[in-house]
Structure 1
């Protein structure tokens, strides 16, 4: 049994809301204390891990019980904490719509497979954020990569990860699929 100092309920919420709630709650804890975030969004497992790593907090793990993901994050000390940085290279949905037929680009959709199946940008490659690390070799480093998710939060984390791995021409698409007005494939 994991000793927790605070539990928050993010059940029924999709990205970015579990992270938003976790951000607010973690600042109420002392360094070393543990936050439990309960969520039902399958993508929250990768989201919580990536967010914790990007802010210096310690992702302890996730336990799934009856469709509820219980994420455990230990608050970082002041010396360990990092300022959360939004990925600096951003492109708006409308700008991307003009580029989707360009063969020199890749549109990388980092949402969960079910989200992708219900509609995605034509030609987009599906690699969920939680699989990005193990599948990164599927992406050519010599192409421009536009990363999309539902709102721009998960894609920001993915774009950061790609940049850290040596990808030099990466863009985060905002606001993402939640407001995509272009054509869709299913």
Structure 2
């Protein structure tokens, strides 16, 4: 079975359009601020995500600090996705140096 990979905030920021970014934090935290173009991913929409996201599309999983995203990334890999990353430092690291949106 494939393994997920680690990716830095800067690598994602350098080319955000290359990735589908999924944010697994709670809905309230996501609403208060998230990465541009990030999609909130929860148990409620996970099946839809699996059905609508091409398996060859690189996916970056984001949580608060880069810990729970590792487990979620492994779950996504196990669903047949080719390239899945856990973003080191999570959203807390992202917001220190990158733009945050609240749409």
The interval holding the TM-score normalised by the smaller chain is 0.7 to 0.9
Structural mapping, 1:18-167, within 5 Å? 88-100=4-16, 102=17, 104-128=18-42, 130-131=43-44, 133-135=46-48, 136-167=50-81
Task: Note the C-alpha offset of 1:155.
Answer: 1.1
RCO higher in structure (CA 8 A, sep ≥6): 2
CA distance in 1, matches of 2:12, 2:35: 10
TM-score normalised over the length of structure 1: 0.48
**4+ residue segments displaced more than 4 Å:** none
Unaligned runs of 5+ in 2: none
**Number of equivalent positions:** 97
Larger radius of gyration: 1
TM-score normalised over the length of structure 2: 0.83
